[in-house]
Amino acid sequence: SILLPSKPMRDNGELCLQSAQCKSKCCHRTSGLSLARCANKAIEFQECSPKSLYGVYYKCPCEQGLTCEADSSLVGSITNTNYGTCQDPQKSSK
């Protein structure tokens, strides 16, 4: 069988349907009506989304090594608005 070459990974700013298509691993849209594009992962102190519905984020997840400290309320998880802030778990905040 002949395998068709898969589309190359997409750069930031290119349209995407899911995060797996992006080099950055974040397919991001600003609203439910906007087109999704690849974007950088969130850095420390930036807003982040702890999980994604359907492979598209309203806020990108954190870069590797950072955790998304988010409000994990039920309402927030249903509406996908339980955003958090990227924190470095190595730096104790308490």
- Overall CATH class of domain 14-87: mainly beta
> Domain ranges in the chain?
14-87
How far is it, in rounded angstroms, from Cα 21 to Cα 8?
Answer: 8
pLDDT of amino acid 55: 82
pTM for the full predicted model = 0.75
Token pair belonging to 44: 């420390």
Q: CA distances (Å), 8 to each of 5, 37, 51, 64, in order?
A: 8, 15, 24, 22
What does the pLDDT look like over 36-45, one tens digit per residue? 999 999 999 9
pLDDT of amino acid 70: 78
Average of per-residue pLDDT values in the chain = 83
What does the pLDDT look like over 46-86, one tens digit per residue? 999 876 656 899 899 999 999 998 766 655 555 556 689 99
The answer to whether 59 and 70 have CB atoms below 8 angstroms apart is no
According to DSSP, the β-strands at 37-38 and 84-87 are unpaired
